[in-house]
Amino acid sequence: MKTRSVSFLIVCSLNASIAGLAIPMLPVIVGALGSKSHIDSRALGLLAFLELGGAAVTSIAVSWQMRRFNAASLCAWGSFCLAAANLAASAAVSSAVLLLVLRLIAGVGTGLMSAGMLALVARVPNPERMYGILGFAPCVSASLAFTLAPNLIRLTNGASGMFLFWGALAAVNSLCLFVYRRRLVAFVDQFRADVRVPAGTPGAATQGAGGLGNQIQPKVLVFCLACIFLLAFCDSAVWAFVEPIGERIGLSIEGFSRALILTAVVACLGPLLAARIGSRFGVLAPIAIGQLFMIGLSILMVLTREPVLFAATLSLRVIAVLFLVPRYNGLFARIDPIGRVVAAAQGAQGIAYGVGPLVGGFLIGLQEHSFVILGVVAALSAATSLGMTLFVVPRGVYSSNVQAVQV
């Protein structure tokens, strides 16, 4: 049992580390394509939109029919698409049209990988711990990618090196998933009789074979997606403009770089804390505390005039986000152990990360007190997300007395 648990954890972590590279790798690839391949900025913007948008739409589309899919096979075929698109892109860095098509395919692959993995883990008892561990994996792969990026770009004189690196990782991941997909499904199937939605929980009106719910109330689904959308919006609306926020208080480029390095170093504490807590304090209490931190830090970041406090606030805010996402994933997995809600939530986050900077840019353009308005809007979105969470899932429905899988 323990050996199978470790194998499950390793394969899922590898999948998460590669699927999670989409957002961290984007600015590096876009920058290399713009400076080395001289691709138009409008084409680069469309490229980013197609990749992230393709991932978001794919996650949402697949989630509706998750009961009919083999989640491990989704991960395997998604990784295959991502590998093929990246390896092909390494030879097409000078063609904007071909790159647009390939990045859309890569986005579809990322969406399949994320949806399948999240749905697979949703069927394991104590999913908060697993989601926390899987949230740590992209931090490691992103750090490796950032470390190698300058040398890869210099060796290939452009983005080809980054595409080859990402494509090779995805190819290895695809091979592992095709080999182990039956074992992954067999591992989670042993818990099907135990993974039940607690009585009285929204969406638990019916339970199908194996103890998995077959129906979800539409109202519950909408509220769940709204909760994670508002959290991602709160994060992205401010994150996209941390540089001008720091510049406003006199933070130098060197100081801002140090703040980002500090943030990257401590970011892994968020998912690790989520994994460490598990279900020890229930499901709702950690989410409520994390959201309260988000509300306060969103306001503090735009009000502070001290560079040191700004750097600390930035780091704590990222930790809070990376703590809350696996906690919400665990909550959604308990509402729907089939994994439809948590897969759709991944798409909702992707959409929010596109909408957030758009709204943030509009608010920044309001001139007077624009940064304060941005902070207030971000705090209100986090507060609304918290309110919806406590409304949809009544306090006390879940207890901390949940069977855990030791992985």
Averaged over 171-192, what is the pLDDT?
81
| Separation in Å, CA 19 to CA 23, 106, 135, 207, 220 | 9, 10, 11, 31, 27
Confidence check: pLDDT of 393 > 60: no
pLDDT at 140: 82
* pLDDT higher than 60, residue 137: yes
Asked if residue 350 lies in contact with residue 224, where contact means CB atoms within 8 angstroms, the answer is no
Q: 381 falls in which pLDDT band (50, 70, 90)?
A: very high
Output the pLDDT for position 278: 78
More confident residue, 81 or 9: 81
Q: What is the pLDDT of residue 216?
A: 67
Calpha distance 284→271 (Å, rounded): 16
- What is the mean pLDDT of the segment spanning 370-381? 89
The answer, yes or no, to whether residue 259 has pLDDT greater than 70, is yes
Q: How confident is the model at residue 354 (pLDDT cuts 50, 70, 90)?
A: confident
Torsional sign, CA 363, 367, 373, 378: positive
Domains in the chain (CATH in brackets) are 2-186 (1.20.1250.20), 209-392 (1.20.1250.20)
88 contacts 290 by C-beta, under 8 angstroms: no
pLDDT digits (tens, 9 = 90+) for 27-53: 678 777 877 777 776 777 788 788 888
Cα separation, 314 vs 97, whole angstroms: 37
Q: What is the pLDDT of residue 306?
A: 86
User: pLDDT-based confidence at 368, cuts 50/70/90?
Assistant: low
Dihedral over Cα of 262, 268, 274, 277: its sign: negative
pLDDT reported for residue 213: 46
pLDDT digit string, tens, across residues 189-211: 666 544 444 444 434 433 433 33
Torsional class of 367: left (φ above 0), alpha (ψ -120 to 50), beta (otherwise): left
Tell me the average pLDDT across 258-262.
77
- The pLDDT of residue 226 is 92
pLDDT in tens, 269-297: 999 898 888 778 888 889 999 999 999 99
Average pLDDT, stretch 124-131? 81
Task: Note if the pTM is more than 0.85.
Answer: no
What is the tens place of the pLDDT at every residue in 285-333?
Answer: 899 999 999 999 999 988 888 888 888 998 999 899 999 999 999 888 8
